[in-house]
Structure 1
Amino acid sequence: MELWKKNLVVCWFGMFVTGIGMSQIAPVLPLYIGNLGIYNTSLIEQFSGIAFGATFIISAIFSPIWGHAADKFGRKPMLLRASLGMAIVIGSMGFVHNVYELIGLRLLQGVITGYSTACTTLIATQTDNEHAGWALGTLSTANIAGSLLGPVIGGFIEENFGPKNVFFITGALLLIAFIITALFVKESFTRQNNKILKIKEVWDSIPYKNLTAIMFVTSFILTMSLYSAEPIITIYVTQLSHNMNHVALIAGMAFSASGLANIIAAPRLGKLSDKIGTHKIMLTSLIAAGLIFIPQAFVKDPWQLMGLRFLLGLVMGGLNPSVNVMIKKITPDFLTGRIFGFNISAQYLGVFGGSILGGQVSACLGIRYVFFITGTLLLINALWVYLKVYKRLIPT
């Protein structure tokens, strides 16, 4: 088996577990914070929001820093640092005595993250252009699937084994990812630029600045779209259920349907992009995603919503790989880690922005408007990509 394929298998597992580790705390937080001596409902909600969102904001700040370190010291050291560090930090969350210690560890988790950045950079630099779409498409399913399935897995562990074991089990999985990475990831790293570049010098070194900025914004909008429904899915399913049993389970299935579809579609759409062009898959997927979001506002029962969420996952599977392949092809090798770090920062901000967007729009205008606004944003993004990417004659 070729080296990049072996590394892809290991990185997929590590990114999947990391995605779970970043998101599994969502359904557990209110219950765990209640066990830490906070009994006022409004305070529990406030602390839950701070503890959940803080990790992603800090991760957005530190991802480019770790991306720069990956370009300077190699990608494997960053994989080992992030996986071991997150194993220790997340496992330690099961031992906290108060909510402030928990928030502190969540902040530290955001600081030491960077596994996804290093993985994406490693696979992007090791894979030839002929197979880049398939490889990065396959890799993207890990992070998205882990992030979307994380709340369901966290809820299952909490219900059956208790909240503390959510952190212990996730920490153990990350420790396994560290061991597998140490044993099986192979990298022959040679630093290509010995000069330490400042942010302005990095930007000046990018040959396609406008196109790179469009990719960052597209990553932000894609992730925000996926997560805009997270705060309201359970409430929406409750409204649609009409006293149906197992509302929480059905809501989890509706939310995770897009993650399952993404796992199915992303490698295939990535492989197709290798044949027909990244820009074509990106534009088509953006338009389809925007159009699929809107009917979710008109569904009559949870199963219709689940079906549309599954279709959404199928078309969204072509977007993250397309963005990553485009970035790979227009970025000099010595900047790959730094640029992918910025792109993953945009995704982390999208997670935070999506949660805020969904909650605020739902509170001010109603749940159905979340789908209208999100669909419109995707269609506007599609128009922008058509005018600025699709019609430009650059290597794709």
Structure 2
Amino acid sequence: MPIWKRNLFVCWFGMFVAGIGMSQIAPVLPLYIQHLGVHNASSIAKLSGIAFGITYIISAIFSPIWGHIADKVGRKPMILRASLGMALIIGCMGFAPNVYVLIGLRLLQGAITGYSTACTALIATQTDKEHAGYALGTLSTGSIAGSLLGPIIGGLIEEYLGFQPVFFITGALLLIAFIMTALFVEESFVRQDKKAKSIKKTWEEIPEKSLTIVLLVTFFILTLGLYSIEPIVTVYVTHLTQGTAAAHVAILAGLAFSASGLANIISAPRLGRLSDKIGAHKVVLVALIAAGIIYIPQAFVKNPWQLIGLRFLLGLAIAGLNPSINTLVKKITPDSLTGAVFGFTMSAGYLGVFGGAVLGGQVAAYLGIQYVFFVSSALLLINAIWVYFKVYKKLCLKENAY
């Protein structure tokens, strides 16, 4: 097996498990907080929001820092650091004596992040150009699928095994990822003994700043729209459910949220390969338009299965965005800055997850659930127009020039 394929397999597994580790707590969090001694409903809701959101906010802060360090010491050491750190921290969550220790551990989990950033930078710099789109497309399925399937996996483990195994199993899988990385991942990295640059200085050295900003905002909007349904999916499915299916609301809600992740696993490698052939900028534009359109009928569904089907179609479309954005970032960024720039990209994604949850809840509360889909659609379509003028036309002109 070629080295790049072996690296890809190990990193995919690790990113899938890391994605689960970030999101698996979502469906069990209120119940676990109650288990830890908090019984007031409003306190449970408030503490659940803090415990869930703090990981993503802290991750957004630390991701560029770890990416910057990865450019200096290598990406494999950062993968090892992050996987072992997350394995220990998530495992310790199962022993949390109270909710404040749990929140502290969630904060530490955000600070120790950098796994996805380092994996993406490793694959981008260690894979030849003709396979880059496919490799990054495949890799992206790990993180997104883990994040989207995490809630339903966490819910199933809690239902059949209890609260603590949710954390122990995830921690054990991350420990396996650490061992696999140590044994099988290879990196050709020459350490440069130069004075460390600040993140601000690194940003100043990025050659295509305007393109990079458009891609960062696009990744933010992508995750914002994808996670806007999270706070309202159970309520929406309950509203759509009638008769005997009402007893299975939790499972149907989990399927509705996770359907995009399943579709992503199927579609992303193929769309990544397509971006290698026709250009990543073309895939990004078409995927944005398709995703924006698919959001609209989700507001008019009559039963949960229609919602699940449309969420699956949404996942097929969105699968083209993540790998194509990463491919474009790799294309316009020097190898010496790849880790730092992918760190900025991951920060945009983490902020999108947090922002999407906040946006979905606020829009549903003030305007109604249907408007969550209308707002998400509008954001994606406006973003598509921006991408057309700032990325698509610019790169097409460069292609014609050659």
Task: Name the TM-score class by shorter chain.
Answer: over 0.9
Aligned to 1:190: 190
Q: Is the 8 A contact 2:288 2:318 kept in 1?
A: yes
Is 2:18 aligned against 1:31? no
The one-letter code matched in structure 1 to 2:252 is: I
Aligned to 2:357: 355
The one-letter code matched in structure 2 to 1:231 is: P
Aligned to 1:181: 181
Which structure 2 residue ranges, 5 or more long, are not aligned? none
Q: Distance in 1 between matches of 2:181 and 2:389?
A: 41
Q: Distance in 2 between matches of 1:40 and 1:234?
A: 21
Aligned to 1:60: 60
Aligned to 2:122: 122
Worse-superposed segment, 156-165 or 244-253 = 244-253
Counterparts of 1:146-295 in structure 2, within 5 Å, are 146-192=146-192, 194-243=194-243, 244=245, 245-295=247-297
Aligned to 1:390: 392
Q: CA deviation at 1:188?
A: 2.1
Q: CA deviation at 1:248?
A: 1.0
Q: Is the 8 A contact 1:193 1:334 kept in 2?
A: no
Counterpart of 2:101 in 1: which secondary structure? helix
Q: Distance in 1 between matches of 2:169 and 2:123?
A: 27
Aligned to 1:48: 48
Which structure 1 residue ranges, 5 or more long, are not aligned? none
Aligned to 2:112: 112
Q: Is the 8 A contact 1:191 1:334 kept in 2?
A: no
Distance 1:50 1:185, change over 3 A: same
The one-letter code matched in structure 1 to 2:228 is: S
Counterpart of 1:207 in 2: which secondary structure? coil
Q: CA deviation at 1:164?
A: 1.0
The one-letter code matched in structure 1 to 2:167 is: F
Aligned to 1:302: 304
Counterpart of 1:95 in 2: which secondary structure? coil
Q: CA deviation at 1:200?
A: 2.9
Aligned to 2:137: 137
Q: Distance in 1 between matches of 2:193 and 2:351?
A: 29
Matched length: 396
Q: CA deviation at 1:65?
A: 0.7
After superposition, give the CA deviation of every residue in 1:150-172 in whole Å (9 maximum; x if it has no partner): 00000001011111111111111
After superposition, give the CA deviation of every residue in 1:45-66 in whole Å (9 maximum; x if it has no partner): 1100000000000000000010
Q: CA deviation at 1:189?
A: 1.0
Q: Distance in 1 between matches of 2:398 and 2:107?
A: 40
Q: Is the 8 A contact 2:259 2:315 kept in 1?
A: yes
Percent identical:
72
After superposition, give the CA deviation of every residue in 1:265-292 in whole Å (9 maximum; x if it has no partner): 0000000010001111000000000000
Worse-superposed segment, 239-248 or 310-319 = 239-248
Q: Distance in 2 between matches of 1:20 and 1:363?
A: 28
Q: Distance in 2 between matches of 1:4 and 1:146?
A: 22
Q: Distance in 2 between matches of 1:176 and 1:394?
A: 44
Q: Distance in 2 between matches of 1:199 and 1:64?
A: 8
The one-letter code matched in structure 2 to 1:294 is: I
Q: CA deviation at 1:395?
A: 6.3
Aligned to 1:378: 380
Q: Distance in 1 between matches of 2:308 and 2:119?
A: 31
Q: Is the 8 A contact 1:270 1:318 kept in 2?
A: yes
The one-letter code matched in structure 2 to 1:87 is: A
Let me know the Cα RMSD of the aligned residues: 1.1
Aligned to 1:90: 90
The one-letter code matched in structure 2 to 1:77 is: P
Q: Is the 8 A contact 2:145 2:265 kept in 1?
A: yes
Q: Distance in 2 between matches of 1:106 and 1:123?
A: 28
Is 2:350 aligned against 1:335? no
TM-score under structure 1 length normalisation: 0.98
Q: Is the 8 A contact 1:157 1:166 kept in 2?
A: yes
TM-score under structure 2 length normalisation: 0.97
Q: CA deviation at 1:203?
A: 1.9
Q: Distance in 2 between matches of 1:195 and 1:322?
A: 33
Counterpart of 2:129 in 1: which secondary structure? coil
Q: Is the 8 A contact 1:79 1:181 kept in 2?
A: yes
The one-letter code matched in structure 2 to 1:209 is: K
Q: Distance in 2 between matches of 1:342 and 1:193?
A: 23
Q: CA deviation at 1:90?
A: 0.4
The one-letter code matched in structure 1 to 2:189 is: F
Q: Distance in 1 between matches of 2:203 and 2:80?
A: 28
Q: Is the 8 A contact 1:329 1:395 kept in 2?
A: no
